[in-house]
Copies of this chain bind each other. A is one copy, B any other.
Amino acid sequence: MAEAAPVVTAALLVIGDEILSGRTKDKNIGTIADYCTALGIDLSEVRVVPDVEDEIVAALNAMRVRYDYVFTTGGIGPTHDDITADAVAKAFGVGISHDERAVAMLRERFPNPADLNEARLRMARIPHGAGLIENPISKAPGFTIGNVYVMAGVPSIMQAMFDAVAPTLKTGVKMLSVSLDTGGLPEGAYGTPLAAVQKAHPGVIIGSYPSFDGQRFRNQIVLRARDAAVLEQARAAVAAMLETLASPNPAAPPATS
């Protein structure tokens, strides 16, 4: 009955010394993870690399052959440390030069020719053959070449670019998820029966996630599947298991068969 779910995968390459030094705390990983999940794309790997061309090229080439899409963030501004466009051109073995479409976009922001200086024109250097990704906030575009989408590092601009890109992406069957709070039950109390539920429901990915507020742990069990009926069966099994553990009365029957 349920046909094989088409799975679409993606990877994210975060480019920037400032993330690795701790100066800037990345926000784009979580945002892009949320976007992908909402779209029905499996974000399958993330890498953070420094502003070093060979590192960017190597990571990009490793990821773009493996996943349906690669998103990148960072390194497309007007300063010398913005080297992403050159690295992408190198990874694809194509040339790079000022793109007239991109120059036109920058002219909207800098109508005075004196303001559209060498540094700002750097933001119009686009690998040959790439399409542009509009930037409604500050005009300097991102771009897409092959299965790679190159976006800004500034979170609000990255989000605007992703919004522009999202409708053009192929998507898979969405991964559905449901969370159960364990009501104070510790992981150690339900680890073994939860493993049995996982084994009995191989079509569902079950995770247990503790958080610690400094005083006590609080645990969530998260179930994920692309098939709603399969997900519900597993959810009911976990709920019954938790109920049995919380009220260990042998007379209480399990909620479902």
Q: Which residues of A contact B (CB under 8 A)?
A: 14, 17-26, 29-31, 33-37, 42-51, 55, 77-81, 110, 115, 117-120, 122, 137-138, 154, 156-157, 175, 177, 187-192, 194-195, 198, 205-212, 214, 217, 222, 224, 255, 257
**Chain B: minimal CB distance from A151 (Å):** 14
Q: Can you give 23 contacting A-B residue pairs, CB < 8 Å?
A: A18-B209, A20-B33, A20-B42, A20-B43, A21-B175, A24-B209, A25-B29, A26-B30, A45-B55, A46-B48, A77-B187, A77-B208, A79-B195, A79-B208, A80-B191, A81-B208, A110-B188, A117-B189, A120-B188, A137-B212, A154-B211, A154-B212, A157-B212
Among A17, A118, A198, the most chain B Cβ lie within 10 Å of the Cβ of: A17
Q: With A77-B210, A209-B18 as given contacts, are A50 and B44 in contact (CB-CB < 8 Å)?
A: yes
- Indicate how many identical chains form the complex: 2
Q: Which residue of chain B lies nearest to A35 when distances are taken between CB atoms in the complex? A: B22
Query: A207: which B residues are within 8 A, CB to CB?
Result: 17-18, 51, 79, 81
| Beta-carbon contact of A48 and B26 below 8 Å | no
CB distance from A167 to the nearest CB of B (A): 20
A23 touches B222 (CB 8 A): yes
Chain B neighbourhood of A120, CB < 8 A: 188, 191
Instruction: Give the residue of B25, B138, B188, B195 whose beta carbon is less than 8 angstroms from that of A257.
Output: B138
A206 to chain B: closest residue by CB: B81
What residue in chain B is nearest A187 (Cβ atoms)?
B78
Would you give the shortest CB distance from A9 to chain B, in whole angstroms? 10
Chain B residues whose C-beta falls within 8 Å of the C-beta of A117 in the assembled complex? 188-189, 191-192
The answer for the CA separation of A79 and B182 in the assembled complex, in Å, is 13
Bound together, the chains give a CA A224 to CA B80 distance in angstroms of 15
Q: Smallest distance from the beta carbon of A132 to chain B beta carbons, Å?
A: 19
Give the distance in Å from the alpha carbon of A197 to the alpha carbon of B213 in the complex: 47
**Which one of B19, B79, B214 contacts A33 once the chains associate, using CB atoms below 8 Å?**
B19
